[in-house]
Amino acid sequence: MTISRRSFTLAASGAAFALPAWSQDKWPSKPIVYIVPFPAGGTTDILARLIGQKLGPVLGTTIVVDNKGGAGGSVGSEMASRAAPDGYTILGGTISSHAINVSLYPKIGYDPIKSFEPITLIGTNPTVLVVAPSSPYKTLADVIAAGKAKKPLSGASAGSGTSQHLSLELLKARAGIDITHIPYKGSGPAIQDTMAGQVDMMFDTTVVAGPHIESGKLRALAVSSAKRVPSLPNVPTVAESGVPGYEVVSWQAIFAPAGTPKPIVDRLHNEIAKILREPEMQERLGKLGMQGADMTTEQIAAFQKAEVAKWAAVIKSANIKLE
């Protein structure tokens, strides 16, 4: 019995069409690797392990957390972008790896938008502008007035190109004032010099700065988010303080390599969303200073594109160069 070329072609194309659907029905049939593009112990790593512990049993598999740090999250992100788009590799992405780095590293090995499919925006974390208790600046309006009067102002950060640094640069641009940026090697020494009055101010995350504000070692002037932070209800936003439209939030998300089948992305999105809504996870996120973000995958994609464009403009305007 012979098969005509036309019949063979139709049969072959039908088999090719059916294969992805069959594969997705069987997914997952082996462990899923969750790449964390930062060293162990940081926020992205903590979130990966918290989510992975709950996601594995729900999917009937194991989530293997794989730390691949380097270049502000770029090394691990590039590795994830080159992984097979079959649902067996996911990535913890951040404001650094998936918004800022593309404008800081001229030879970055991936496109933060085109190389990935967004799965979940886990949450956001605002920064807060702080000064020493002895500072003459009681409000952000005081800082802006000093800047307009051409008084010398200095601002510390955890390092050039960090979200703390870019928060400062965006403030300078939106308020029309000059603040000399002083980069440190990490938040620790930067915040110590701010508390001692060696530098006038700095932005840092509410996680890091919160305890020092509570103890009275720092004075909070404004938070960078669009709305006030529940843990600092009496601290106004930067926008409320005379810089309309200002908003900066660090964020944590989960991505898959571009081309990962939509049914797999959708299932991951839905299952992780359920996990994040659990009271226990809500409590853990709160302790990390994170605010929940309930977005669809389409909304995450739009949010990320806006973030990439915003920080590209800030980095170009400030002529930021990595040291």
Give one DSSP letter per residue of 48-73, joined into a string.
Answer: HHHHHHHHHHHHTS-EEEEE---GGG
pLDDT tens-digit map of 81-125: 999 999 999 999 999 899 999 998 878 999 999 999 999 999 998
For the cut 60, the answer to whether the pLDDT of residue 23 exceeds it is: no
Least confidently predicted of 9-18, 206-215, 281-290: 9-18
Distances (CA, A) of 228 to 79, 231, 234, 323: 37, 9, 8, 34
What is the predicted pLDDT for the residue at 5?
Answer: 36
User: 161 pLDDT exceeds 70?
Assistant: yes
pLDDT, greater one: 177 or 1: 177
Q: What is the pLDDT of residue 121?
A: 97
What's the number of CA atoms in the CB half-sphere (13 Å) around residue 84?
5
Is the model more confident about 291 or about 147? 147
Reported as a single tens digit per residue, the pLDDT across 262-282 is 999 999 999 999 999 999 999
- The mean pLDDT value for 10-36 works out to 65
**For residue 323, pLDDT beyond 80:** no
Task: Find the range with the poorest average confidence among 41-45, 110-114, 144-148, 288-292.
Answer: 288-292
The answer to whether 221 and 130 have CB atoms below 8 angstroms apart is: yes
CATH of 21-125+249-318, one of 3.40.190.150, 3.40.605.10, 3.40.50.300, 3.30.930.10: 3.40.190.150
pLDDT score of 198 more than 60: yes
Task: Give the residues across from 220 on adjacent strands.
Answer: 130
Q: What values do phi and psi take at 291, rounded to 5?
A: -110, 135
Contact of 215 with 209, CB cutoff 8 Å = no
| Contact between residue 299 and residue 119 where contact means Cβ atoms under 8 Å apart | no
Give me the mean pLDDT over the 127-145 stretch: 97
Residue 306 contacts residue 121 (beta carbons within 8 Å): no
- Going from the C-alpha of 246 to that of each of 12, 157, 291, 295, the distances in angstroms are 56, 18, 18, 21
The CA-based diameter of the chain, rounded to the nearest angstrom, is 94
- What is the mean predicted confidence (pLDDT) over 183-206? 91
Work out the number of other CB atoms within 10 angstroms of the CB of residue 13. 10
Any long-range contacts for 245-248 (C-beta under 8 Å, 24+ apart)? 245/174, 246/170, 246/171, 246/174, 248/126, 248/127, 248/163, 248/166, 248/167, 248/170, 248/203, 248/224
Domain spans in the chain, listed from the N-terminal domain onward: 21-125+249-318, 126-223
* pLDDT for residue 208: 83
| Mean pLDDT confidence for 179-199 | 92
Q: Is the peptide bond before 57 cis (omega within 30 degrees of 0)?
A: no
Q: Which pLDDT does position 25 carry in this prediction?
A: 65
Q: Helix, strand, or coil here: 111? A: coil
Instruction: Characterize the bridge pairing of strands 116-131 and 89-94.
Output: unpaired
Q: Which helix (H) or strand (E) holds 129?
A: strand 116-131
Query: In terms of residues, how long is the chain?
Result: 323
Collapsing DSSP states into helix, strand and coil, what is residue 123? strand
Q: What is the pLDDT of residue 308?
A: 96
Mean pLDDT of the 160-187 span: 91
3-class secondary-structure state, position 214 = helix
Q: How many Cα atoms occupy the beta-carbon half-sphere of 246 within 13 Å?
A: 29
For residues 277 and 282, what is the distance between their CA atoms, to the nearest angstrom? 6
Cβ atoms within 10 Å of 242's Cβ, excluding its own: 17
At residue 173, the pLDDT reads: 92
Q: Are 300 and 118 in contact (CB under 8 A)?
A: yes
Q: The domain 126-223: what is its CATH number?
A: 3.40.190.10
Report d(CA 47, CA 44) in Å as an integer. Answer: 5
Domain 21-125+249-318 shares a fold with domain 126-223: yes
Q: Are 164 and 262 in contact (CB under 8 A)?
A: no
Using the predicted structure, report yes or no on whether residue 159 has a pLDDT greater than 90: no
